[in-house]
Structure formats: C-alpha cells, structure tokens
Amino acid sequence: MSLLNFNAILDVAQQRQFKAIGSFNLHCIEMLPAFFRAAKKTDSPLMIQISTGTAEYLGYKLLVDSVRSLAESENVPTCLHLDHCSDIKAIETAMNAGFSSVMYDGSHLSMEDNIANTRIVVEMARPRNISVEAELGAIGGSEDGKAVAEEDICFTTVEEARHFIEETHVDMLAVSVGTVHGLYTGKAHIQHQRLKEISEATKTPLVLHGGTGVSDDDMRLAVTEGINKVNVGTEMNVQWVGQCKTMFEKGKVNDSVRKFLIPANDAVTNVLMEKIALFK
C-alpha cells in the first residue's frame, strides 16, 4: 500500500464519518506501533507527522520504510507528513525519501516571501502528488524546542488568508486562532468566529496546531467550523516520558527494556484514541 497524501487521507477519514484527521507527532521510532494500534482500534486512517528534528534523528528513509511497511501489514491508510519546515532543501529530502505530505512554514517571513517560498514548494510537490500545508500568522508556544514569545503571536486575518490561498493554492492552511504549541497552564481559547470566517473565505481545509491543551468541547466544535487536520504533539511525549520515568524508577537494570516501554506505548495509544474519538 502506498502512502496517501492529505487530500486522499481526508477522503478516507470522511468516508468513515470523521470530520477531521488527527496528525500525530512521532517522537521516536519506539512509538510507531502504538500509533497503528490506535488507528486499528478506532478504524481510523492515520496521519503521522515528523518534525525536522525527529527526521534528522531517525533518518528520512527509516521513517518512510517503517511507516510504509506497517501501513501495509496493518492495512491502515496512512499519510506521512513533514511538520513545520522552513528549509526547502530538507523538504526536498523528505519528498525524495517518499513522504506523502509536507509543511512549508514561512509564517515568520513577510507575506510576500511566505507566498514566494510556498509557491516553490507547491511546484515541487504537484508532479509527485504530495500535499502541501502552509502557515499564516504566528502560533505561540514552543516548536521543536524553540520558543515563540507571547508578544510574537499573530492571529491570522480573513483577508490575508483569502489572498494567501489565491496566490499559493496550498492543500491546507495552518491558522493562528488561539492555540499555542506545547503545554498550557490553562485551556486554549479558540476564536471560533475568526475560524469560521477564514474557512468561509478560503474554502480550504484548515489546520489546528497545538492540539494539546484544547478542551474536548472546543475540539469538537472546531472540526465543524473548517478544521480538517488537528495537530497533536506534546501530549504523547508527556504520557510516554511520564510512564517511562515511573517504570524506570521501579525497574532493575537487567529487566527487559520492554517492561518499561510497553506501558509508555499503551499510554500513547490511549491519547490517540481519545483524540480520534473527538473527530467523529
């Protein structure tokens, strides 16, 4: 089974009565079977996203080969997506390796430069049937260890979003509507009116970044207002590391490492299943 791009995976998700697809950050290769287990248990297609840090750590080829192999053996329609990347060379590496979807993140650039670079990526992607996500506005929090200061958060405007889509024709657009990446001290406040207006103006699938810390009610509502892709990253990391810490503390050095990792992976499966249930 070949990997599907975003449009194809969203089609499968919608055929199975999901309004949106969760895109889950894989933090290490050990977590991978836990993702597939959640998809199987919920009869959901699977979108796995990889930060450039993780791609460099594990290698693009290992990721493509292992995800493709599990998609086939588990019979799960799967999309492999490169998350937040502002380096066009790294995007090309991912495309050449076999990723089926990429994100070019030019949100830190001027509108003109963001459009120009996004277009380059769209031109590279189209002949290969790879989907492209772009970002407009600045989402706060921390991305791959780099912090975005609160004063730099910049909400996406309806007019800018309309203009950006007309100029780039990306497959999906990440918008800044109140979520932030990483752990919250409280719950995020999604700007539902802004979200609905952007969706109406762009008629393009929108992406909610910072899925960790969004309340269940807000999430259920957002997927009826134009959000078709929901990114969740930190929550799996927190569960996995939390379980490992507890297990390692109790363990002995000659215990099988599996004893520590299995509960960690079970916790990750539960996070995915809980999120996926919100998209129905």
Q: How far is the CB of 140 from ligand 13P (least distance, A)?
A: 10
Among 52, 212, 243, 265, binds ligand 13P (CB under 6 A): 212
Nearer to ligand 13P, 63 or 260 (CB): 63
Q: Considering the complex, what minimum distance in angstroms separates the CB of residue 22 from ligand 13P? A: 10
Q: In whole angstroms, how close is the CB of 166 to ligand 13P at the nearest point? A: 25
Residue 210 binds to ligand 13P (criterion: CB under 6 A):
yes
83 is catalytic: yes
Answer for which of 77, 106, 178, 211 binds ligand 13P (CB under 6 A) is 211
Only segment of 53-61, 128-136, 225-233, 259-267 that touches ligand 13P (CB under 6 A):
225-233
Number of residues engaging ligand 13P in binding (CB under 6 A):
14
Query: Site mask, ligand 13P, residues 143-182, x = CB under 6 A?
Result: --------------------------------------xx
Nearest approach, Cβ of residue 214 and ligand 13P (Å): 8
Written in H, E and C, the secondary structure of the chain is CCCCCHHHHHHHHHHCCCCCEEEEECCCHHHHHHHHHHHHHHCCCEEEEECHHHHHHHCHHHHHHHHHHHHHHHCCCEEEEEEEECCHHHHHHHHHHCCCEEEECCCCCCHHHHHHHHHHHHHHHHHHCCEEEEEECECEEEECCEEECHHHCECCCHHHHHHHHHHHCCCEEEECCCCEECCCCCCCCCCHHHHHHHHHHHCCCEEECCCCCCCHHHHHHHCCCCEEEEEECHHHHHHHHHHHHHHHHHCCCCCCHHHHHHHHHHHHHHHHHHHHHHCC
The mark string for 228-247 relative to ligand 13P (x by CB under 6 A, - otherwise) is ---xxxxx------------
Residues 195, 16: Cα–Cα separation, whole Å:
24
User: Binding ligand 13P by CB under 6 A: which of 27, 37, 81, 84?
Assistant: 84
Identify which of residues 106 and 233 has a Cβ nearer to ligand 13P in the complex: 233
Active-site annotation holder among 65, 83, 255, 266: 83
- Is 209 a residue that touches ligand 13P (CB under 6 A)? yes
Looking at beta carbons only, is 222 or 260 nearer to ligand 13P? 222
Nearest to 104 by CA among 112, 19, 148, 114: 114
As a whole number of angstroms, the longest Cα–Cα distance in the chain is: 61
> What positions carry a catalytic annotation?
83
Binding site for ligand 13P (CB under 6 A): 25, 83-84, 181-182, 209-212, 231-235
